[in-house]
């Protein structure tokens, strides 16, 4: 199945033929980029919450009960869920000294090899993460502070991020193996 894909993908960027793999990869790229850019905006809310806290403390002489936790969990969720976005843009730091010197065939083998380990990690995040989040949801667990917001939406960010990473990891693998065409990315 993969061999056929390689033959189909090697013909370079021919817009006439868009395979299923191409469509999958483009869709995942678009989804992750959209999610990443959406959550990138959270920084504005974080800045406003921090500034309000500083303002409230220095002018009203009283700290808010919500500002700290809002900033913490807003940015945590944003940058955890954005994992797939950074992967789509291949921004995660890697050591490619050896990789760069190999033949395309050897690279493809290594890509498959590393994908196994990638899967072990994101699989664990999805599985153990959803167990953790589901338990928290059933329990109605709070953070235990005076404000005491429900914490399960933050915990669900872990398995969701794992799932988005997995989708993106598969897309990148399909492209690296030549099964799907290389990405065309503006931003």
Partner 1 sequence: MSIELLSFLFVAVFVVILLTGLPLAFATGAVAVFFAVVLFGWGGLTLIVGRVFTLMGNYVLVSVPLFIFMACVLERAGIAEAIFRAAHVWSGRMPGGLAVAVIISCALMATMVGVIGAEIVTMGVVALPAMLARGYKKELALGCICAGGGLATLIPPSVVFIMYGLTAGVSIGELYMAGVVPGLMLAAFYITYIVIRCHFRPDFAPPATEAELAITLREKFALLKELVIPSLVAFSILGSLYFGWATPTEAAGVGVLGAVLAMWWNGKFAWEKLRKAAEDTAKVTIMLYWLFFGSSALIGVYTLAGGTKLIQDFMTGLPVGPIGVVIIIQIIWIVLGCFIDWIGILLLTAPIFVPVVLALGFDPVWMGVLFCMNMQISYISPPFGPAAFYLKGVTPPGITLGDIFRSIWPYMGLQVIALGLVIAFPQIALWLPNTMK
Please select the residue that binds partner 1; options are 26, 86, 134, 137, rule is CB under 8 A.
86
Asked if 120 is part of the footprint of partner 1 (rule: CB under 8 A), the reply reads yes
Asked if 34 is part of the footprint of partner 1 (rule: CB under 8 A), the reply reads no
Residue 165 CA, chain-centre distance (Å), reads 5
Count CA atoms within 13 Å of residue 104 on its CB side. 6
Q: Dihedral sign, CA of 47, 52, 57, 62? A: negative
Asked if 73 is part of the footprint of partner 1 (rule: CB under 8 A), the reply reads yes
Please select the residue that binds partner 1; options are 16, 98, 138, 186, rule is CB under 8 A.
98
Asked if 43 is part of the footprint of partner 1 (rule: CB under 8 A), the reply reads yes
Instruction: Compute the least distance from the CB of residue 103 to partner 1, in Å.
Output: 14
Asked if 60 is part of the footprint of partner 1 (rule: CB under 8 A), the reply reads no
Return the bridge partners of 10, or none.
none
What tokens were used for 2?
């993969």
Asked if 186 is part of the footprint of partner 1 (rule: CB under 8 A), the reply reads no
Using CB under 8 A as the binding rule, the residues of this chain from 154 to 173 that contact partner 1 are 154-155, 157-158
Instruction: Compute the least distance from the CB of residue 41 to partner 1, in Å.
Output: 6
Part in contact with partner 1 (CB under 8 A); list of ranges 4-12, 17-25, 113-121, 178-186: 113-121
Asked if 132 is part of the footprint of partner 1 (rule: CB under 8 A), the reply reads yes
* Rounded distance between C-alpha atoms, residue 101 and residue 99, angstroms: 5
Q: Residue 12: exposed, middle, or buried by beta-carbon count in 10 A (0-12, 13-18, 19+)?
A: exposed
Asked if 6 is part of the footprint of partner 1 (rule: CB under 8 A), the reply reads no
* Rounded distance between C-alpha atoms, residue 83 and residue 77, angstroms: 10
Asked if 65 is part of the footprint of partner 1 (rule: CB under 8 A), the reply reads no
Helices 42-55, 20-40: inter-axial angle, 10-degree rounding: 10
* Rounded distance between C-alpha atoms, residue 25 and residue 176, angstroms: 11
Cβ atoms of 169 and 115 within 8 Å: the answer is: yes
Contact positions toward partner 1, by CB under 8 A? 36-37, 39-41, 43-44, 46-47, 50-51, 53-54, 68, 71-73, 75-80, 82-83, 85-87, 89, 91-99, 110-111, 113-114, 117-118, 120-122, 124-125, 127-129, 132, 154-155, 157-158, 187
């Amino acid at each position: 199945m993969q061999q056929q894909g390689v033959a189909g993908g090697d013909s370079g960027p021919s817009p006439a033929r868009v395979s299923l793999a191409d469509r999958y990869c483009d869709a995942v790229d678009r989804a992750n980029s959209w999610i990443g850019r959406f959550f990138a905006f959270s920084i504005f809310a974080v800045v406003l919450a921090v500034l309000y806290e500083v303002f409230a403390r220095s002018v009203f002489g009283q700290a808010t009960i919500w500002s700290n936790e809002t900033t913490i969990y807003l940015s945590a969720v944003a940058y955890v869920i954005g994992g797939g976005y950074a992967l789509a843009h291949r921004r995660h730091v890697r050591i490619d000294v050896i990789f760069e010197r190999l033949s395309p065939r050897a690279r493809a083998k290594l890509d498959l090899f590393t994908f196994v380990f990638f899967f072990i990690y994101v699989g664990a995040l999805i599985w153990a993460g959803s167990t953790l989040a589901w338990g928290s949801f059933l329990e109605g667990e709070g953070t235990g502070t005076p404000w005491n917001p429900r914490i399960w939406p933050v915990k669900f960010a872990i398995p969701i991020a794992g799932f988005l990473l997995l989708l993106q990891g598969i897309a990148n693998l399909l492209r690296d193996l030549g099964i799907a065409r290389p990405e065309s990315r503006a931003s």
